Amino acid sequence: MMQWLPEDVSPYGGSIDALFYFIYYITAAAFILVTALMIIFLYQYRRDDSRRAVYTHGHTGLELVWTIIPALVFIGLGLASKSIWEEVKLNVPETDVEIRVTGKQFNWEVLYPGPDKEFETDDDYQVDNDIHVPVGKPVRVFLGSKDVIHSLFMPNLRFKQDMLPGRQIEAWFQANKAGTYEVPCAELCGFGHSGMKGTLYVDTPEDYAAWYDKRWPPAETNGGDASAAETTEEVLAGGAVMDAETMPEPEAEPAATEEEAESAMEGAADSAAQEATE
Ligand SMILES: [Cu+2]
């Protein structure tokens, strides 16, 4: 019949859509049947002076039929939903692409962990409303909220998940077709709710690499430009650590680690041996 759902680019959208259309067709059939019968009965049993009204006490057979059939349909839908829910939600594929998305009135705060793959470190990158992911790779997403309940909705991925303040929810998605997709908020969250919209950029491997390298230039991670990229704090902290490590050593501190002591002994033995040969 109608195909008015947005394009599906997710690995599991097919089974969700199938369930959706199954419910849709059953509902449509029930609607048409009930409406048609109502119109027929309205006409057939209209006021007629030649006919007396009668009292009816129902029909046991009919009542059993219209109770048992919907009950079976509901049980079937419940079982089908359960298996699809498990397939989608519980089979979380392994992945190294992780992001954190936090809802706030009225933006999506997106946090990328950077090359070290750890959140809340210095190489994190945070931006509002731009979600960049590589095409065809599972993405693990950690959801939270700063104020009220929001709902991250990616219709093309058949993904919708509420975000609750004070709680981190883990979910995953995968986009199998490159492109840009809308990410609206699906939970009425305040005055600016209707304008709360981000963009999901599903990048080809080349585009993703280009975006990634722009964000985290390879030189930085190779250490070529590392000092320039460091914050003042880091430089200071690094300097302090260096001092603490290097200063006491010339005075042959006894608290040196065993390894250091060993290597010092070896060094002494080596130089002694060298002296002996010379
Ligand atoms: Cu919202």
Check if the beta carbon of residue 133 is closer than 8 Å to that of residue 139: yes
126 part of a folded domain:
yes
Give yes or no: residues 140 and 81 share one domain: no
For residue 4, how far is its CA from the centre of ligand 1 (angstroms)? 24
- Residue 207 inside a domain? The answer is yes
Same domain, 103 and 85: no
Let me know whether 74 and 174 are in one domain. no
CA of 230 to the centre of ligand 1 (A): 35
Phi-psi region at 74: left, alpha or beta (left = phi > 0; alpha = psi -120 to 50): alpha
Find the CATH number of the domain harbouring 187.
2.60.40.420
Range of the domain at 111: 98-220
Contact yes or no for 9/177 (Cβ under 8 A): yes
Residue 68 shares a structural domain with residue 108: no
Q: What share of the chain is helix, strand, coil (3-state, %, to 5)?
A: 45, 20, 30
Measure 108 CA to ligand 1 centroid, in angstroms: 8
Q: Is-cis flag, bond preceding 119, omega within 30?
A: no
Positive/negative CA dihedral, 231, 207, 113, 221 = negative
Mean per-residue pLDDT pooled into runs of 10, the chain (278 residues): 81 91 92 96 91 87 94 94 89 90 94 90 91 94 95 95 95 94 95 94 94 83 45 42 41 46 50 48
* Residue 121 exposure: Cα atoms within 13 Å on the Cβ side: 9
Of 169, 186, 220, the domain-final residue: 220
Structural domain contains residue 140: yes
At 237, list the tokens.
């902290």
112 and 64 within one domain: no
Task: Name the 3-class secondary structure at 188.
Answer: coil
Same domain, 64 and 158: no
With respect to residue 163, please indicate whether it lies within any of the assigned structural domains. yes
What's the confidence (pLDDT) of residue 220?
52
pLDDT of residue 222: 52
Strands 107-112 and 138-145: unpaired
Residue 4 lies in a domain: no
* CA–centroid distance, residue 54 to ligand 1 (Å): 57
Same domain, 69 and 165: no
Same domain, 83 and 133: no
21: three-class secondary structure by DSSP: helix
Query: DSSP character for 88?
Result: I
Residue 219 CA to ligand 1 center (angstroms) comes to: 38
Q: Total domain count for the chain?
A: 2
DSSP 219-257: HHHHTSSHHHHS-HHHHHHHHHHHHHHHSSGGG--TTS-
Asked if residue 135 and residue 71 are part of one domain, the reply reads no
Q: What is the pLDDT of residue 89?
A: 87
> Is 133 in the same domain as 152?
yes
Query: How many whole angstroms from 138 Cα to the centroid of ligand 1?
Result: 24
pTM of the model: 0.69
Whole-angstrom distance, CA of residue 224 vs CA of residue 220: 6
Ion ligand 1: protein residues whose beta carbon lies under 5 Å: 150, 185, 189, 196
Report CA(193)–ligand 1 centroid distance (Å).
Answer: 5
Q: Which of 188, 204, 220 is the last residue of a domain?
A: 220
Residues 143 and 204 placed together within one structural domain of the fold = yes
Q: What is the pLDDT at residue 274?
A: 52
Q: Note whether residue 78 is domain-resident.
A: yes
Q: Are residues 75 and 118 in the same domain?
A: no
Distance CA(7)–CA(156), nearest Å, equals 6
Q: What is the pLDDT of residue 230?
A: 42
